[in-house]
Structure formats: structure tokens, C-alpha cells
Amino acid sequence: MNSKYLYLIIDLAAISLPFLFSFHPKANFSKKWKYLWPAILLPATFFLIWDEWFTTMGVWGFNPEYLTGIYVFSLPIEEILFFVCIPYACVFTYEAVGYFSKRDYLQSYTNTITFVLLFFFSITALYGINKWYTFSTFLLCTLFLLFLHFRIKPNYLGRFYLAFLFILIPFFIVNGILTGTGIEDQIVWYNDAENLGLRMGTIPVEDTFYGLLLILMNVSIFEWLQERNQAY
């Protein structure tokens, strides 16, 4: 497939079913939109600034063959929509997993998982200190998880870890296509001098943790806004 609408189609496909099921009467996700949209837009602002910076630096870039040609600064409109469509679908998945699984199955393992991740993130950041994508992703993962664990002390991390396992399934499909799986060329290309050069299929390993950071920020703000509302 070689289509100027492919990236846009991926964005819209990712959000379509979660959006439609948001109005299901048994679990009306649309009632939580007042918490969801700030939880999407605040991290999106941060990630888009990061994205613009790395695009201008040549850390990554976009193949015009798969784009509509509408840009905001250096970023195609499809990339901007990515930070709305994907978080919407992922927070919906997080809520759906919580709805169908009332029990926090990872509650007793949450601290262990967190410390293992912190060790992995910090070591990888140090190892990739001369690689922009590697260093920035794993450093920010380390700092944000440290902030959550020691400052916020949330009760939802176990549920997030479980939900993220489900999120990884569509993640690998979407990111696989974006990085060239099943199509003639890449939609998003990466400068391997700025990452570890390790790929899961066509996906740079950093992408998984870049995604984890994004969705963890979304979920954290989403949960915080709900808790704040309940407190009042």
C-alpha cells in the first residue's frame, strides 16, 4: 500500500472503536471526558514540543509519500493527531481492563515491578547517554516513575502495568506499520545513530518505553483529576 492517507487512516482506525464504545450504557466512558481531555492534551503538548525538536535535529522524520501534506511547523498533521488518537484508545483500554477486572492482580507485585523498571530505565539511560532518543526516553521514564512512586504514591500502578500488557498488542500493530511492516517504505524513519539500533521487527526498542511514558502520563493525570473531583 502506498497512500498519502495511510498515516491518517491509522490514527482514525486506532480511535474509532474506542470512541464508539465510549457510549456503551454499562460503562459510559464519555462521562469521564472532562477528565480525559486534559489528560490527553497536557502530555500531548509536552510530547509535541519534544517531537518538533527531534524532527528538526534529524533524530526521526516522516515520509511524505504517506502524508496528506498538511504541516504544523515540522510536524505533519497526522503526527499531531497521533498524540490524541492513541492516548484516547489507550486510556479507554486502561478503563476497560479495570471494568472487566475489578481486582488489582498485580497489587502485591507493584513495588517490585516499579523498582525493576527504574533499574532498567536508569541503566539504559546511562548506557545510551550519547544517543538522543535512547537517553531522553529512558531518563524521562526514570524521572517520571520516581516522581510517581515516591511523591504521588498512586494506587493504580498495578492496574496500569496490567493494562499496558493489553495495550502492547495494538501498539505493535500500529507502530509496526508506521515503521514499515507490511508496506513498501517507512512512514516514520529513525536515525539509528541516536538510538540503540535494536528493533522488535521494524520497531525501535525505545518506542515501547516512549509509549509507556506517554500513556502513564495520560493515566496519571486522568486519575489525579478524578481523585481531585471526588475530594471536593
What is the residue-averaged pLDDT of the chain? 96
Rounded to whole angstroms, how far apart are CA atoms 78 and 220?
25
How confident is the model at residue 232, as a pLDDT? 67
Stretch 54-58: mean pLDDT: 98
Residue 158 binned pLDDT confidence (cut-offs 50, 70, 90): very high
Q: Is the pLDDT of residue 2 over 60?
A: no
How confident is the model at residue 21, as a pLDDT? 95
Q: Is the pLDDT of residue 1 over 70?
A: no
pLDDT digits (tens, 9 = 90+) for 175-203: 999 999 999 999 999 999 999 999 999 99
Stretch 23-46: mean pLDDT: 95
3-state helix, strand, coil in the chain (%, to 5): 70, 5, 20
Q: Is the pLDDT of residue 156 over 80?
A: yes
> Strands 188-190 and 71-72, how do they pair?
unpaired
The alpha-helical segments, DSSP class H, found in the chain are 6-21, 33-57, 77-100, 110-127, 132-147, 157-178, 205-231
The pTM for the full model equals 0.96
Stretch 87-101: mean pLDDT: 95
Task: Specify which residues 75 forms β-bridges with.
Answer: 72
pLDDT digits (tens, 9 = 90+) for 104-145: 999 999 999 999 999 999 999 999 999 999 999 999 999 999
Q: Which has the minimum average pLDDT: 80-84, 96-100, 113-117, 134-138?
A: 96-100
Residue 208 binned pLDDT confidence (cut-offs 50, 70, 90): very high
Q: What percent of the chain has pLDDT over 70?
A: 98
How confident is the model at residue 229, as a pLDDT? 84
Task: Specify which residues 60 forms β-bridges with.
Answer: 190
